[in-house]
Amino acid sequence: MTNILCIGAGYVGGSTMPIIASHCPEDRFVIVDINEARIAAWQSDQLPIYEPGLDEIVWRTRDKNLFFSTEIDRHIAEAEIIFVSVNTPTKTFGRGAGRAADLQYWEKTARQILKNSNSSKIVVEKSTLPVRTAEAMERILNSNGNGLHFDVLSNPEFLAEGTAVRDMQSPNRILIGGRETESGQKAVAKLVELYARWIPRERIITTNLWSSELSKLVANAFLAQRISSINSISALCEKTEADISEVANAIGRDERIGNRFLQSSVGFGGSCFKKDILNLVYLCEHYGLPEVARYWEQVVLMNEYQESRFAANMVASMFNTVAGKRIALFGAAFKANTSDTRESPALEVCRALLEEHAKIVITDPYAMENASQDLGELAARVVFEPDPYAAAKSAHAIAILTEWKQYAELDYERIYHSMAKPAFLFDGRNLLNHKKLFELGFNVYSIGKPPLTRLVNVGLTSA
């Protein structure tokens, strides 16, 4: 039996560890966190995150070989392998503010591991970190005078929210980076062995530490770049009567391009893409590569453009004013099948419309609590309505901002009749059947497609 600890019970730690535990019944897993309420939620019937299929795995493993606790020090002492998945947000102060990763939680955790250890351990970076962070961690951890040795490994997480369970049960690849020393390679082998219990060996890639750290940033940068690329073309489609879905299909059929991550949208959100790209940009600047930095920065700028363009198009289409108009936002989560609203484009659109003095109603099946928290003081100016039909009642416009399947299945005829006229529908995810909606009476505006409207001279104007 191996004692395995995970520090950080957020989305990453909380969804990966139960799955690993379910495949390794003979090992003992403990997930700790400084946040008592979060740990209490993991111990309850109402888990703190919504992730399809995760509940069942937690029920199956919890209190058998998986435990949740706030007693960090004690569990550090007992552990042989420690995964660290504490958050690494973008720095908000000092050097690198707005770009660099804030490593204070990581460093604090490393010192806490050192203080409470009386045996050598493997420490695994699960959080996304700037390349060469492991070097600093090794220095801190191996600064002890009592002969203990710590091997630092990088094992970045590639799972996506909403499909975390599927991604972890059958990942494209598991990446493990370690030092090329004898002890480093032994640590790598130990982690490989853990994953090999259910993942085919050929899907477990081992690299040097720096390649592994960097690959995580680069994977997210490439994925986000595809979305910004297709979104940039959506703006051109709106000017030229080309249709972004047709263009995406036509280019995606080229096997060299591939058809995934070509869904044009109101923008990408989530806790990772923006943060990781800005981190990559900062690293490039740090290493004296300003041209490379500008190249990647443009992916984030294009995303911000897409979000503000969408909100500006709404205002322009609704006779250049939304002041006092009720607008129903369908979706607050940054994507479907999650309750997560971090960096959600839906909330960016909400903020932009509030600035124009619109009366905003938000509906979402799982993310309203997080949306309210993220909006802070602005939440007091927003109505939260769980029922989409009630949200749309008397509204001048609906904006689809999260691609929840249930929004495609609503009775839009009923919705149309309950709305103020002319009724507008802005589809920020190209989720609905636009022709049908137009036939029902809606003026329909989507991403990268000609608008379907009966209104003359009130076309799209990009601000």
* Three-class SS state of 398: strand
Q: Which residue in the shown chain puts its C-beta closest to ligand UDX?
A: 10
Binding residues vs ligand UDX (CB under 6 A): 7-13, 33-35, 38, 85-88, 105, 108-109, 127-128, 157-161, 220, 223, 227, 261-263, 265, 268-273, 334-335
- Torsion sign, CA atoms 405, 408, 414, 418: positive
- For ligand UDX, the closer of residues 9 and 300 by Cβ is 9
Euclidean distance between CA atoms 222 and 273, whole angstroms: 9
Residue 273 CB, nearest approach to ligand UDX (Å): 6
Residue 106 CB, nearest approach to ligand UDX (Å): 8
Residue located via tokens 């109402």: 46
Residue 197 CB, nearest approach to ligand UDX (Å): 21
Euclidean distance between CA atoms 198 and 176, whole angstroms: 16
Euclidean distance between CA atoms 240 and 330, whole angstroms: 28
Contacts of 18 (CB under 8 A, 6+ apart): 29, 54, 57, 58, 61, 62, 66
- Is 272 among the catalytic positions? yes
CA distances from 410 to 33, 295, 385, 415 (A): 40, 41, 16, 8
Euclidean distance between CA atoms 234 and 310, whole angstroms: 11
Residue 147 CB, nearest approach to ligand UDX (Å): 27
Candidates 69, 60, 79; CA nearest to 165 is 60
Residue 265 CB, nearest approach to ligand UDX (Å): 3
Q: Write down the catalytic residue from 24, 237, 272, 350.
A: 272
Candidates 21, 72, 66; CA nearest to 43 is 66
For the annotated catalytic residues, the residue numbers are: 272
